[in-house]
Amino acid sequence: MDDRLNNLRNMTGSHIKLMRLALNEAETAGQKGEVPVGAVLVEDSGKILSSAHNRTIAAHDPTAHAEILALRKAALNILNYRLLNTTLYVTIEPCLMCMGAIIHARVSRIVFGANDPKWGAAGSLYNFANDLRLNHQPKIISGVLDGECRKLMRDFFRDRRNLL
């Protein structure tokens, strides 16, 4: 029982550490006027394959979400479109588009901070990860640094409204 508890603590500590890296990416996005979402993709060994933040405005690309950019970088990094045995850390619950890409890439796990009741496709609005009609079901872990992730988004949009 003590070993299982220690493994849980180590896993939780690792999730927090990696989510902080995703939060750093999200903060960078916000500083650039992008919606503050950050993502980090990690192999099961702990090796970071990629990190990214939203760039839809700068790239003039509606698909330039943090998750998509992290998947693209990692695939190029390992020269494989299948990202088996990986975990994607993202500050906000992935949307429909991102969940589709995550499932196609065969990412094993998604760890996210705050739920997205308007766009979330990992349990809030839709639950693609539990759709047995799809050929892959990533494991979902939600709520890691939820308060910090939610605050970053809330403050960003509050500041944007105040500028208007």
With tokens 């890691």, the residue in question is 144
Q: Are 113 and 146 a contacting pair, CB within 8 Å? A: yes
Residue 146 contacts residue 138 (beta carbons within 8 Å): no
Query: Is 25 annotated in the active site?
Result: no
| Secondary structure, 3-state, 65-93 | CHHHHHHHHHHHHHCCCCCCCEEEEEEEC
Q: Are strands 38-43 and 86-92 parallel, antiparallel or unpaired?
A: antiparallel
Out of 25, 27, 34, 67, pick the active-site residue: 67
Q: CA–CA separation, 112 vs 89, rounded Å?
A: 6
Task: Please state whether beta strands 48-53 and 86-92 pair in parallel, antiparallel, or not at all (unpaired).
Answer: unpaired
CA distance 77 to 37: 22
| Residues designated catalytic | 67
